[in-house]
Chain A
Amino acid sequence: MSDYKSEPIKGTQGDVQSHDKKQSWFYSDIVKEHFFNPQNFLDRDPKEGEFNAIGKVGSPACGDELRVWMRVDSATEIIIDYKWKTFGCGSAIAATSMISEMILEKNMTLEEARNIRPQDVMERLGGLPARKFHCSVLCDKATRDAVNDFYRRAGKFDKIVVEASRIICPVTRVTDRDIEEAVLEGAITLEDVQKKTKVGIGNPGVLPAVEELILFYKEKYFG
């Protein structure tokens, strides 16, 4: 299986600025290396029986969609292969590439992979622009989705972990916990919370529920 390779590009090349000039950002060299030279992505359709766990998060309407395919050793629950496809911006592609490396280099078990937090991926990437963090690190969610999928297929229903928090937006998989965190970080309008989480972008049906939650947490924390 050959992954697409290109000349890795380092340094200050490849930075962009927001077109409305409200904010600019710079990606770290590690982010750029994974973006320009992504690792472990699936450059074709999966073959029948090649993988035994599949995970998905996001939709193209909200700007990011991730899919992951894993081959897991049933006896040891070690992830032997981890492939992915991502529709998204530079940081989304880099983050997915990075998590694949983190999982494969350490021969992680399902349990270990499940415990990877977005912060862990970001740390390995050498940081991400603040406004990119919530919306582009979705790879941990896609991975957990695949872990559950493995247990579902294996009939080990007791091992499926339903996200402790409640998913508010099925498209972006933003949970009530994500919204609580956004409010705590100072986002108290729908617009601000959307900037942080992308909740409801391309899926406006969930907005009334989101607004209700914002109000709830706002009153809870800021009276």
Chain B
Amino acid sequence: MKKRQVYLDNAATTPIDKRVLAVMKPFLTDDFGNPSSFHTPGKVAGDALDGARKQVADVIGARSDEIIFTSGGTESDNLAILGFARKNQNQGKHIISTKVEHPAVLESLEQLEKEGFEVTLLIVDEFGRVSSDDVVTAIRPDTILISIIYANNEIGTVNPISEIGKQIQKNRTGNFPAFHTDACQAAGALELNQEKLHVDLMTVNASKIYGPKGNGALFVKRGLKLQPLQFGGHQERRVRPGTENVAGIIGFTEALRIADQQKDEESKRLIKLRDYFICEVQKLIPKTRLNGHPTERLPNNINISFMDIEGEALTLYLDAKGIYVSTGSACTSASLDPSHVIVGLSLPYEVAHGSIRFSLGRSTTKKDLDYVLEFLPELVEKLRKISPVSVDAKYFK
């Protein structure tokens, strides 16, 4: 009998939806033209690209000319942060962000610090949320950009982006500071309408919503100027030159359409599963801590620290049972530092070392979760027996 496999790492990436693959295929073979070419195959590709751009624009309530296709979340974040800051530095060199951003944002900000920019990283509350008051207080006359993650990729906490955006609009002169949000984890689960969110720049990508990896987009509000990160053509309004990945873009667009269409229904289903799993774990296993917000969290995100044990060890034990998860432990990162997000919640390193993220997906069923619950308590118990550590009771309830 084939061993049961339960993939609970959908926040890392998802498989391509068959409907998505179907619309991509023609553009890999028959309709292979370069959208920039002045002939029929070129026009076919070009028209498809225009249609795709319109579709993304529709989902986020923007105009077609406000969408720039990129190679995914990392590039969109880089382009938003580096591109905007460099282009607008004559207006000021101060940027506000948070301690719990994705590395694509944090490392771009580190680069800007080397270029003479000043960065304020806001701390978050115990659930990982940023307060709009803190954002407003941090605004200075020379603040040109504010970047805040929409839904955290590790702990799933959803930030009040709309409220923060409103406050920023109230407290700015002209176009500055502009407001960027990384919405990579939000697509398919949360509101993406840019007007309702009051954002000026927004990152979206395909690989978490059953689209092809290496595809994403950046929403750039009309009138905002970016300095390109690469050079060599007129594509994407010269901000992101290079022959477009037509098949990838078509796939991304279709994936986004499907994700947005089934957003409400799927979210409802996932929230039920999520809360069931959290509740069962707390019932079955002592000394655990739910990381992130109890309700203001992504429907598919479960992040739990198992005290006194180390995440890599548990990940390996689960892997041997065919259960695939990820951990904030230092041991699986190249840096040997544990998750900056969990440490950012003012929790000690040992809590971060023991954190496991279970991220659900479209294929996840209650049966899958029951399979995990069948093994999880004994595996945790086994590692605890080996462990000499006892984490202070104040860090779990």
Contacts and interface: CB of A to CB of B under 8 A. Distances in A.
Interface in A125-184: 131-132, 135-136
B334 A60 contact: no
Interface in B272-317: 308-310, 312-313, 315-317
A18 B334 contact: yes
Nearest to B327: A19
A14 B313 contact: no
Interface in A1-39: 4, 6, 9, 13-20, 22-23, 35-36, 38
Interface in A37-65: 38, 41, 43, 60-65
Contacts of A215: none
Nearest to B390: A60
A62 B335 CA distance: 12
B331 interface: yes
B389 A65 contact: yes
B313 to A, nearest CB: 5
Contacts of B1: none
Nearest to A88: B310
B326 A15 contact: no
B337 A201 contact: yes
B332 interface: yes
B319 A19 contact: no
A64 B311 CA distance: 11
Contacts of B329: 63, 89
Interface residues of A, number: 44
A35 B313 contact: yes
B229 interface: no
A178 B27 CA distance: 56
A14 B320 CA distance: 5
B382 interface: yes
Interface string A192-218: 001100100110000000000000000
A10 to B, nearest CB: 10
A183 to B, nearest CB: 17
Contact of B313 (A9, A18, A93): A93
Given A67-B388, A85-B387, A86-B388, A16 B332 contact: yes
B350 interface: yes
Interface residues of B, number: 35
Nearest to B337: A201
A4 B388 contact: no
Contacts of A131: 334
B386 A41 contact: yes
Interface in A79-117: 85-90, 92-93
B391 interface: yes
B12 interface: yes
B319 A87 contact: no
A201 B333 CA distance: 14
Contact of B310 (A9, A22, A87): A87
A66 interface: yes
Given A4-B385, A6-B382, A36-B317, A19 B333 contact: yes
A195 B333 contact: no
A60 B336 contact: no
B312 A89 contact: yes
B394 to A, nearest CB: 15
A35 B330 contact: no
B382 A14 contact: no
Contacts of A90: 312-313, 316, 331
A96 B298 CA distance: 39
B319 A16 contact: yes
A190 to B, nearest CB: 12
B377 interface: no
A63 B352 CA distance: 9
B348 interface: yes
B310 A89 contact: yes
A15 B324 CA distance: 11
Contacts of A16: 312, 315-316, 319, 332
A161 B236 CA distance: 68
A63 B310 contact: yes
B353 interface: yes
Contact of B336 (A13, A15, A201): A201
B349 interface: yes
A65 B388 contact: yes
B255 to A, nearest CB: 21
A87 B308 contact: yes
Contacts of A191: 335
A18 B332 contact: yes
26 contacts: A4-B385, A13-B320, A14-B319, A14-B320, A15-B319, A16-B315, A16-B332, A19-B12, A19-B326, A22-B334, A35-B313, A35-B316, A38-B386, A61-B348, A63-B338, A86-B388, A87-B350, A87-B386, A87-B388, A87-B389, A88-B331, A89-B312, A131-B334, A136-B331, A195-B335, A195-B336
The 7 closest A-B pairs by CB, nearest first: A85-B388, A60-B350, A89-B331, A89-B312, A22-B334, A87-B389, A61-B349
